[in-house]
Structure 1
């Protein structure tokens, strides 16, 4: 279970799914969900969401980025889903959380530095890239 949790902690911003988490931990998807819940009290999906929201809270506190930029940096693809999950877990919408955090002064980290350090996301394999990367590697 630690391998599954470590994989989520390491790759929370990437588009990961239950099959990928299970493969990293060496479990079947169904067994992983049962064992993860028994060990940590929540499903891997819920843990991933909570981890992403925790990271978003930190970025909302210290970075000069929009809520939309932070939403995408922490791995959400939908601003609406991000906002509703953030509100459910934190108790206030992300924009309100950010305004309250920035009320005491300017953000500590310019957004351009965070975006620069985040680097490009690995592209998903498409039919075009699969043709460019034959089996067995370049």
Structure 2
């Protein structure tokens, strides 16, 4: 997948410094994620123009940050770094490590600050953090983001939702917008529920993000996700997955469309991926279901 960020940013500098990109994904709406392997290298960032949220996955204990604040040592699995768009830093990487990066632009984080915290976007000032413990971010990564196949269209909604959860977490804990989130009571109005249900029924095979659905409903993505679950008893990505399985069953019963075409029509990138998801949900492969 092409890198939508400029060559002089964290992504481009790491690549030029010899780090290995294991996988990356453009989540959309100002979010980009990457998984890196690096060893015996150095990196220097000078106002990269975007924010970077890093989580160590393996190694990192010997990593050093060397800049005007003095030397800091002590990365480790689960530790995070937050590098604002205007920060400057130098890094020494003497041993092997693996990291996750979430890149996001200023417009994305300011939009969330306005929608969720009702704060002036100009007040958003992210902290510059190095080697902090963050169990919440580590759990989101381990249980949601890392297990997903980032290349699958069907996973875009789950990635988008997880990315927004991390950004809300960053806003709550690592910026000047710290405050309790306003409570959300009740679900979506019936008219909005019908609008969203009709949209998903017509576009279930498309690559759908949480921001697209929220915009259609007229809510922030964070509030929409919570209200959607209240109304439909499922998170948006789970509801969409169940809808795709339901639609695929209808096609399988008709015995007209080949399996490979059913897979693509229902939002899966391949027949193998469709078969795995279908069996996990139904307990049978599509062929076994069709024979019954």
TM range (shorter): 0.5 to 0.7
In structure 1, what is the Cα distance between the partners aligned to 2:230 and 2:246? Answer: 22
1:99 Cα deviation from its structure 2 partner: 2.5
Instruction: Map 1:1-138 onto structure 2 (within 5 A).
Output: 1=188, 2=193, 3-100=195-292
Q: Which has the higher strand share?
A: 2
Larger radius of gyration: 2
- Over the aligned positions, Cα root-mean-square deviation in angstroms equals 1.6
CA contact (8 A) 1:36 1:42 kept: yes
In structure 2, what is the Cα distance between the partners aligned to 1:19 and 1:40? Answer: 18
Give CA deviations for 1:39-71 in whole Å, capped at 9, x if unaligned. Answer: 111011111111111010010011322211111
Give CA deviations for 1:71-108 in whole Å, capped at 9, x if unaligned. Answer: 111222233332222112212111211222xxxxxxxx
In structure 1, what is the Cα distance between the partners aligned to 2:196 and 2:256? Answer: 32
CA contact (8 A) 1:60 1:98 kept: yes
CA contact (8 A) 1:19 1:29 kept: yes
- Give secondary structure in 2 for the equivalent of 1:95: helix
In structure 1, what is the Cα distance between the partners aligned to 2:263 and 2:282? Answer: 15
Report 1 or 2 for greater relative contact order, CA contacts < 8 Å, sequence distance ≥ 6: 1
Taking structure 1 as reference, are residues 11 and 97 closer, same or farther at Cα in structure 2, changes over 3 Å only?
same
**TM-score w.r.t. structure 1 length?**
0.65
Q: Which has the higher helix share?
A: 1
CA contact (8 A) 1:4 1:22 kept: no
Number of aligned residue pairs: give it.
Answer: 100
- Give secondary structure in 2 for the equivalent of 1:39: helix
1:18 Cα deviation from its structure 2 partner: 1.4
Structure 1, unmatched stretches of 5+, are 101-138
**TM-score w.r.t. structure 2 length?**
0.32
1:16 Cα deviation from its structure 2 partner: 1.7
Taking structure 1 as reference, are residues 18 and 80 closer, same or farther at Cα in structure 2, changes over 3 Å only?
farther
